[in-house]
Structure 1
Amino acid sequence: FSTLQQLGSADPISATIDGSIYALPVSFWWVSGSNHTFTFQSNLTEGSTRYLLTGSSVSSPVLVTGPITITGFYKTQYYLYVSAIPAGLVDFNWTGWHDAGSRVGLEAPDVQGYTFKRWILDGSPVAGNPIQVELDSAHKAIAEYESVGVYNVTVTALYVPRNEQVQAGFTWDGQSFTTPHTFRSLTGSHSLVISPVDSQGHPFAKWQDLDSNTAARTISAGGTYTALFGILTENFTITASPEHQRIGPGMSTVFTVNVEAPNGFSSPVTLGVKGLPAYSNSTFEPRTLTPPGSSTLKISTSSTTPVGSYILTITATGNGLVRTVLVRLSMGACIVATATYGSELSPEVQFLRSFRDRIVKNTFAGDSFMTAFNTWYYCFSPPVADFISSHELAKGVVKVGLYPLIGILHVASAAHILFKDALEVGVFLSGAVASMLIGTVYLTPALAPLMLRRKRLMMAVLKVSTVIITSGLMLSLLGESYSHRGLMMMGTSMFVIGTMFTSAFTSFKLVTSVASRICVRLRLWSV
């Protein structure tokens, strides 16, 4: 019994285990002697807090020799945003992520034409320069300067929800004015007090360059000072749709990412995505936008992209804020069976995946066949899986249809064991057994009406199927001899298809022959 868990993150963390994504903690019954790979989520960002992976108790891959607990360790980081008044006067390099509990020394440099006045930390004045900021949470620090000599000041007002200029009254050294207004050739310090509401009755929220909502302030440096009105929350939201997409290797899909600013957030937002499977790429159109707006995330995979279920983290970063949303990408992880049984952890899905990965794909012949099979299978399976997952009746019907297949693959798996020292031969035997039983169980009933009416056609198809089997074996031998994937793909596909049809026709002939003899005997007994 093996468990994967995390320590240090207050929010849910995921891990990629044997190619599939799981939310932690998660436990498995792993066979002793088996090998397994795992990768913990590198980081998780929620607002101005980030949890960063620092290491794990066991390295990947892990060889199972008994019960084991694998722990991923995370540390907490907080975002520090440093700016200046007047805005843009100084570029500080302390803005960014810092470890929780650490201390950051902030020192305002000398700037020609200005003198440093004070630091403002989270809206409150702080004496001294330099100062120490303890990262016990996210912080915003502002270095306030005052002009030396003559300077100009412009006072404006902005209604944030609509991001539009409005008129508002204010007093400058006790005299009344209306925005927008510019004062020229100023010296020294001046008193500025904005009115509690603008001309349209919207309430004052804050000054754009300050965190506090104090209406009165002292101006001693040139620049533009903007009063913000309306309900103000420095925030934006991000959503993505759909929440889940299913595709096969070599296919592409898209998610629509929407960024909203309910309270007038107007800074540019840059999008990104983490957690993509190997041998895949992503593009945003556009990558940077100003809310509200939307972007299309396109994810393209290749034929070598590993199958599995992946949790993708879409991030949006703007003005020191980070927002995330999770979507899910299923890459051929037995998607029809997963939709039917409701979970990738169900015993049926686990068996199907194990048969595919540990028996079929573990050989050159089997892996070549799966490449050809996936090209066909994933042309229709994603929408079928979506339909099944949203209809309970469909789940019940497909469950009934899948149970014989699971039993067939159990038999094929047992046949493979007979050649455990010759895997290529074993996978052919396993494929032959599975193909014959699938043909008997699924194709025979489906083709029975046609075979009853067109017996000559049945015999002709039987002969063609025999030729297909023979040709498939020959191409497979050539592909094996020259390690040619194209020949092997064609050969194994022909072998499987030919075997299925031959088995179906042979089974039908056998059943009708037995039924005919039974009917004859019943007639004789009745006489």
Structure 2
Amino acid sequence: MQKGNCPRVDGARLHLVLALALAAACGGQIQSDGVSDAKVQRAPVISHAEQYDQSGPLTLLPVPERRDTNVEHEVKRIPRPPAGAQLRDPAHQTSAPLLLVPTINNSFDGVGNGFSGPNGTFSVNAAPPDTNGDVGPRDYVQTVNTDFAIFNKDPSRGTVGTVRYGPVPINTLWSGFGGGCQTNNDGDPVVLYDPIADRWVISQFSVTTTPYLQCVAVSTTNDPTGSWNRYAFSYGNTAFPDYPKMGVWPDAYYITFNIFNNGSTYAGAKLCAYDRASMINGAPATQQCFPNTSTTYGGLLPADLDGARLPPSGSPNYIVGQGSLTTTLAYWKFHVDWTTPSNSSLTGPTEITVPSYVIACNNPTDNTCIPQSGTNQQLDALSDRLMFRLAYRNLGDHEALVTNHSVSTSGNTGPSGIRWYELRPDASHNLTVFQQGTYAPDSTYRWMGSIAMDQAGNIGLGFSASSSSIHPQIKFTGRLAGDVAGTMTQGEGSIIAGGGSQTTNLNRWGDYSMMAVDPSDDCTLWYTQEYIPANGTFNWKTRIANFKLSNCPPAPTNDFSISASPSSLTVNQGASGTSTISTTITSGSAQSVTLSTSGCPSGASCTFSPNPIQSGGSSTLTVGAGTATPGTYTITVTGTGTSATHSTTVTLTVPPNDFSISANPTSLTLNQNSTGTSAISTAVTSGNPQTVNLTVSGCPGGASCTVSPTSITSGNGSTLTINSGTAAGGTYTVTVTGAGTSNTHSTTVALTVNGPPPPNDFSISANPNSLTVNQGASGNSTISTTVTSGNPQSITLSTNGCPTGASCNFGTNPIQSGGSSTLTVGAGTAAPGTYTITVTGTGVSATHSTTVSLTVPANDFSISASPTSVNVTAGNSGTSTISTVLTSGNAQSITLSASGMPAGTTATFATNPINSGGSSLLTLATSATTPAGTYTITVTGAGASATHTTAVTLGVTAPSSGGMTNGGFETGNFTGWTTVGTAAVVSGGAHSGTYSARIGGTSPTNGDSSISQTFTVPTGQTLLSFWYQVHCPDTVTYDWATATLQDNTTNTTTTILARTCTNSGSWVSTSAGVTAGHSYTLTLISHDDNYPGDPTYTLYDDVALSSPPPNPIVNPGFETGNLTGWTTAGTTAVVSGGAHSGTYSARVGGTSPTSGDSSIKQTFTAPSGSSKLSFWYQVHCPDTVTYDWATATLQDNTTNTTTTILARTCTNSGSWVSTSAGVTAGHSYTLTLISHDDNYPGDPTYTLYDDVVVQ
């Protein structure tokens, strides 16, 4: 991401330096720290070294035989993210100055084909060489596959580059060690100089046999030809630890691996820490390893310390690798705690944004594209990882880390260059990119780099260079600390021009090289890399050279500081204490420091371990107080080095012997003739323990006070025992005195003696103290007692006043005072009333009572009607729910009756009698002859013990002119109707009143039967409704009931009852809208297919015209064009065209392949006079009801019950179908209309809904 106003750079038109300055500046702007999966891991896996020992001098160790066959080491590649198309590297430096190349000071061959030294001649037997080497104060040590050699660096003892030792196989270091480290010489070596300890570290892996091992050796002195502490760390039998890379840090040697399961499948990077301090001292050592990273990361490098200035205290080791994208680097922070390993932590990965890059020779399986002169054989760039090392330096005012990797400057296989970075930690140890650049000044391929920074902040970069016109060469470049960011400004120098190219199908090169900094001046840079002397294979040589950048100052004078922690010690006579004496290099390099003390008191001892030490190291000062006289002393610790002497002080306090004395408890309360104890404790407050003799004073007359034992050692305790005996009541102070050999101290115990004990007594109470219990039921009260004085006693409980027919029992009887019992009162057949039950507790020495009030309530109830007003047109019926509530006592049977009905009106109860607490539906049926008016219907509920009434107001209106004739068939015939087929008026089982119409018959064959009536709708009436009951033992395919309504005014016919064969035996209502003033013909039909075994008929009743109550549904026909008033879930929409009526309908579900569950819902209250909810639906379902369906539910929120009013259906008829359900006026409901799609791609399912009406 670009920030600010960053100009575009036209490189052909802009001066090089300005272009690079702009690139560095813009690069700085796009850098950002972003944590991706940055997590903190703790509790690493801890394992001990498989074995360890100390060798004899290197020059005396037997040299094993070398392998006599040539081996090409397989490259184990790391998965990398694909790179996007990129024509040009945004950090590309396209040219370099030619006049500022530093002079090469020394240049000589390292170990390679034909190389000779004191221990023979080396012949190449492996490729690539894995060239690396490090420099110490007097030596340069180089390791390759699979030998090493030690070179002189000190001109005072001979020519620089003279071979002091070698070449010998690396496993010479483990001669006599045993195991894979001795027998295998497998390579991937690393050599490092430890500038903190002035030691050398060499490692290589052992992978020819299992377990897989990392072999690590640490020199015992700064002379690499001396003895070595040797270790073998195991990684098991399956996790192949490839490409190990190590770094020196103050608290550990950190190492990374690429792990390949069974040597083939990449399993992520492993990060480990070795116990550096133990390995330097030749002690048993452990390693701490965290679980592998994800396979996104690999080729990670641990930070490796350069220079005398250590990282700030508490700094973690930084581990860096290529990021998860080609625009990032990733880093981890590794903190190791050897004292409490569970505190060790690994934090990361954290990714840092860098300019995008394409790795050199970008290919998922092969990074080979580097050309050579005179051959078609190309070389492997090994560009899937960072190149060794991640060099760290503390420059005082900031810290810096430098590293590099090989990238393509254009496209995937264009000329390669070196992308290099300078990273800087902040105060929280988070890394950011300070500068970066891609060094590729011309069309030559540059790769396999190594980079380091000197003490002035200058940077040196070495690398291989090749093209189709030159053989592989070793070159270097550099920059000064103040130069333009992101550029190598010091030109390009050649260390050696190769005499040939690598041929014959051998593409392996590297796998790494190494740039190191000379600790003697912290300025000179030493670089080692491979080259080819003449065309061929397995004939590589290596070169070692050094140079110095121009503005690096000479090394400062060697100096150090010294300190003590802690700086004061308190040590008892005969004991000892320690202080850590630490030194820090303040300038120059490390030196040997000899420690001494002055001021150590007579009778004491002051010793160091170790002594001498290297500046930058520490020693433990042990002070033994011995017989020193108590007092305070100043001990001066002096550190004498080769170039400086410094001192620090430790204050020693030898305390006198003293103690304290205390009692626990410090007070005792005793009755006469009773015993109590107090623990007498002493503590050493300073000095050493002493003998303390104990005595007691202040014991009252008539009592006894003793301590046991009477003589103790301070720090131990005794027991004071007091028997009050006949001592008078009162408060006394008992003193215990401890007399020691050097001092005396006392403590006191406050003793309270009580007089004669009080009499035994108690109190009694009931909770609750009143009970209301129905006849036949029981209730509980807890009877509790409390000791009010003296001691507990047995108490017998009894009751008085328990009413006749009731029972009063105790759960536990007798009880101890202070305890409780449960009184259970059973009302039984006790007469209703209120009673006082007295509970008496009779003890040995006292009797007390409490009362419990018992109420036995009479059985009673209340009665109510809902609604309390019913309005009908004469000839029709209405309903009200009669409810009872139990108000006291038990439930009873209640017989319901009604009175006050007008002429021609009947009252029936759905359930009669009922139990109090229940309800029944009252139906008031009027006849056509019922006079219009308002009537009070009295409903009486008569129970066994009480009778109550409620009232229902019945409003009867006369029928309007026109309308239905004989809609309830209460004439007992078909007056007003036209019949066809088999039809009869039958009594009994009507929906209301006495009669209903039976269309069809009970005989085996009936055919088609119907009744019809033509009528005109009166003014103000808009709804036609009727009730029907189907008797259909077959299916709707063959037999059915149906009804049609023909509007004679508009000459249109509507099916208002779709064919149905639902043989439920219950009455169902349906309705249809009508227009006042229109003429209609209603036809009620029953169809029988005349099959003998299934006679079919339908009952019809209560055909009526009415003015329906207002519809409470908001937006019932969706004619707003949206879902206003409805709550939606899933996929829903309002669609136009094809509606049941009007323009719009609601589509629930979608036409896409997958819709899942979708619904719309609305909550409403059924208005007075309403009794039915209805709606129309059209299912679009290409599957079966097993998988996809439409359904609908109606939740009665008043009664908290839910009914499925549309059973699951997948009938894909494409026609509109109506369904309905009964509702109760005044109740709150939630209607949910649903479409279910099982998300199978081939059968999108949805349902259309329309015209939702409550009437």
What TM-score, normalized to structure 1? Answer: 0.26
TM-score, length-scaled by structure 2: 0.12
Between Structure 1 and Structure 2, the one with more helix by share is 1
Higher relative strand content: 2
Report which of the two structures shows the higher radius of gyration computed on alpha carbons: 2
